[in-house]
Structure 1
């Protein structure tokens, strides 16, 4: 479309486990309360995610832990963002990307905005979709791997998570290229 923009953001670059999830969003109408997902309560994020899914066009892209280990987290993030853009179902006039670089291979012009998840509503919406989807995936992972407490820390390096890794070793959704999994005692 001639004047549409799509915001793209990701969730899950820093965790020790689980995928990196990206979302691309074209807002069809204004949504009150959009902000960087990290600045919102879980309850508010979930309510906004439902509203975004009802009123906006959303595309999602995921890079799994094996891919992160194979190509590195930066390239996996760019891959997830590209997948989100391609899964959008519409080509906007421009993609606005949160961060300091744009993925290659997007179907339209793109520019990055540092801190864009708090500045540009479409990126804020993408931030919310990516975060809520990734959190949901980690809650489901907790059912498969209950010893790690993924439902609480979502794969980040919390003390309880590090203690679980020390006690049980890594599970199949851990990123083996990330410390502490690279330590000899754990592999």
Structure 2
């Protein structure tokens, strides 16, 4: 079908800890979802409310987690692109085309694709993908907070906030910190 266009976006490229989460979504044109927007413009409660609507209404969707070990081994850009490729390849039914937020495309995609700078503010399928990725990542960071409460992952979600940096200086990194990121590597605590 010519309308099977997947929107693809990720959450979590900038944090010092946790996974990069990528989502791919093919919206069903017969089941529109009201209130889609760039996940960064929505409140956490609004994102949580939209998440099950997207899953229930989408023609197809997939969420992929790129773990810290992969991020450190590949680098953040390649980890992001790897997650995008995996999410698109796992869509069932497959996309006929993809619109990917950003200015870079992964190699070896299963369909034609275009990079869309600012796509999470323009394209409903990319908006839906940004919401799925952000909610899934935030939930993963809350799980990490339960294991490692001393870092405050429930508040900053792994981003380099002053409180996170202070916790790193006091406690050193946990297994979910990205060793390849400068603030962690510079601590030389592991």
TM over 0.5: yes
| 2:61 maps to which of 58, 83, 91 | 58
> CA–CA distance in 2 between the matches of 1:15 and 1:132?
15
> CA–CA distance in 2 between the matches of 1:54 and 1:133?
16
The Cα shift of 1:39 comes to 0.4
Written as runs of structure 1 = structure 2, the 5 A alignment for 1:172-187 is: 172-187=175-190
Q: Verify the 8 A CA contact 2:23 2:133 in the aligned structure 1.
A: yes
Aligned residue pair count: 187
4+ residue runs over 3 A deviation? none
Change in CA separation of 1:71 and 1:185 when aligned onto 2, cut-off 3 Å: closer
Written as runs of structure 1 = structure 2, the 5 A alignment for 1:110-125 is: 110-125=113-128
Once the two structures are overlaid, the 10-residue window that deviates more, 168-177 or 57-66, is 57-66
In structure 2, the partner of 1:38 is 40
Q: Verify: 1:47 aligned to 2:49, yes or no.
A: yes
> CA–CA distance in 1 between the matches of 2:44 and 2:149?
22
The DSSP-based 3-state class of the residue aligned with 2:160 is coil
Unaligned runs of 5+ in 2: none
The Cα shift of 1:2 comes to 2.9
Deviations 1:154-186 (A, max 9, x none): 000011111110000000000001021111543
> CA–CA distance in 1 between the matches of 2:18 and 2:100?
22
In structure 2, the partner of 1:15 is 15
The DSSP-based 3-state class of the residue aligned with 1:18 is coil
Deviations 1:100-132 (A, max 9, x none): 011112111000110000100000000000000
> CA–CA distance in 2 between the matches of 1:62 and 1:184?
26
> CA–CA distance in 2 between the matches of 1:6 and 1:12?
20
Q: Verify the 8 A CA contact 2:96 2:112 in the aligned structure 1.
A: yes
In structure 2, the partner of 1:108 is 111
Deviations 1:33-66 (A, max 9, x none): 1111000011111111110011112111121111
> CA–CA distance in 2 between the matches of 1:101 and 1:184?
31
Q: CA RMSD in A?
A: 1.0
